[in-house]
Amino acid sequence: MDLWRTKSVEASIADTEEPEHSLKKGLGALDLVVFGVGVSVGAGIFVLTGQAAASNAGPAVALSFVIAAVACALAAVCYAEFASTVPVAGSAYTFSFATLGELVAWTIGWDLVLEFVVGAAAVSTSFSAYLQVVLGQVGITLPAAVSGVEEGVVNLPAALLVLGLTVVIATGIKLSSRLNQVLTAIKVGVVLLVVVVGAFYVSTANWSPFVPPSQGSGSAGGAEESTLTAPLVQTLFGLEPSVFGVGGVVAAAALVFFAFIGFDVVATTAEETRRPQRDVPIGILGSLAVVTVLYVAVSLVITGVRPYTEIDPDDGAPLATAFTAIGVGWMGSVVAVGACLGLIAVTMILIIGQTRVAFAMARDGLLPRSLARTDPGTGTPVRITVITGVVIAVLAAFVPLSELSLLVNIGTLFAFILVSIGVVVLRRTRPDLQRSFRVPLVGVVASLSVVACLYLMLNLSLETWIRFVLWMALGYVVYFAYARKHSVLAGHPERSGRPERSTRRP
């Protein structure tokens, strides 16, 4: 069936050599590690650590980060093998096209749009909130009408940030990398300062009990509301809603997973890497290791400095509040500045991820092929970059995104599952391919990755699942209305007589 036609690895690599549709290679291993760290160390490290501790896991939120990191690591090694074998822009989309077929590739491409576009818009609005905190410390207050859509008309700082970063990204990948290196160095320095200073104020008594006993959630909402907002695993198996305990630790892992999204952006830049077979695995696994250590350290500090029972789960800056509560108020200002700068880098890298996925889809004809043309001077897909930036800016400016952020989690986990399956499929269908990085015990690792990611997905709410299904349904409408007929594998005139590049799966 046409739905399962695959694009060979050789064809994907050949596409990267077309002058009009090729990206400039300018990244090394350090660039990729910093990209991965830059996108993962954002508001999450300053906000999610405290909120998850207060609402779900207590001091054991450190274990929640470890659980989320393990799930990421299992998927990360699969990404590393794929990216070193198929060093082409598009990440999970490209990998799926080579193994599971066009429909699955479209599914994952549409899913990555959700991850990167909604993620970038949500992070830019967080930047706006932290910017207003920083400005408030020097006596500047933005008018309510332009500071956010919840109480005003437009979120102007978020929109301006996205548009400014769009210009930087269109200028070239190397400039984006250099800006990211500076911003990441500053925010990692802030995180290390938080850990060092906080260590002097930690009371180990605050870590006891490390895993608080399970208790009822105490939801005051009606039955319908609690069903929609409760983790899906509770609804499926009739479990009583609860927080803390082992269940709370796992539920927190599903929530803090947002902190790890984006390391897969490293895979989207494989085509722009000078030595992808060596550098992409280093970038993926190295960045994941660094951010895991940072998150665990910060979570231990915040729960050691302040009892989890005193942390307000609705506090937008729990880490800063914790230091203020112990008389170290100046750290609150440092955290606000670090978070503000860090979110600039996160937003930029998520935009880059989206442009590269859309670029790959356009090169394959699933989106208009004119969008896949690269500028001969900058070596970047300027058209798709500008369109992506404008769409994200509009979302950030006018759409409340607080309740949509969990869609990013479920979309990312779904991508991880498909990549984990795909790496096993490619091992069996193309054992002849040269693999500079190989997943050890691939069947076991890939299976564990699928199970871990699926379980974390089940710990997200029914409401999140419903929104995800609706988004994917919209994607299939677009596929059957446009993408399927315009695919370069469908014999469309836009192929310009290029030789057949597909293999049809039975």
- CA torsion 384-385-391-396 (nearest 10°) is 160
CA distance 159 to 395: 8
Mean pLDDT, residues 8-27: 73
Contact of 263 with 74, CB cutoff 8 Å: no
The CATH number of 2-495 is 1.20.1740.10
pLDDT mean over 142-148: 87
Integer angstrom CA distances of residue 446 from 8, 258, 332: 22, 21, 42
CA distance 457 to 470: 16
Whether 116 contacts 351, CB under 8 Å: yes
Cα–Cα distance, 144 to 47 (Å, whole number): 23
User: Could you give the C-alpha distances from 68 to 73, 108, 214, 290, 292, in angstroms and in order?
Assistant: 9, 21, 20, 14, 9
Q: What is the structure's pLDDT at 20?
A: 67
Cis peptide before 431 (omega within 30 of 0): no
Check pLDDT > 90 for residue 445: yes
Q: What is the mean pLDDT of residues 48-61?
A: 84
pLDDT surpassing 90 at residue 390: yes
| Confidence at residue 476, expressed as pLDDT on a 0 to 100 scale | 95
pLDDT tens-digit profile of 317-342? 677 778 878 888 788 788 888 888 88
Confidence of residue 505 (pLDDT cuts 50, 70, 90): very low
Render pLDDT for 270-303 as a digit per residue (tens, 0 to 9).
778 888 878 888 888 888 889 899 999 999 998 9
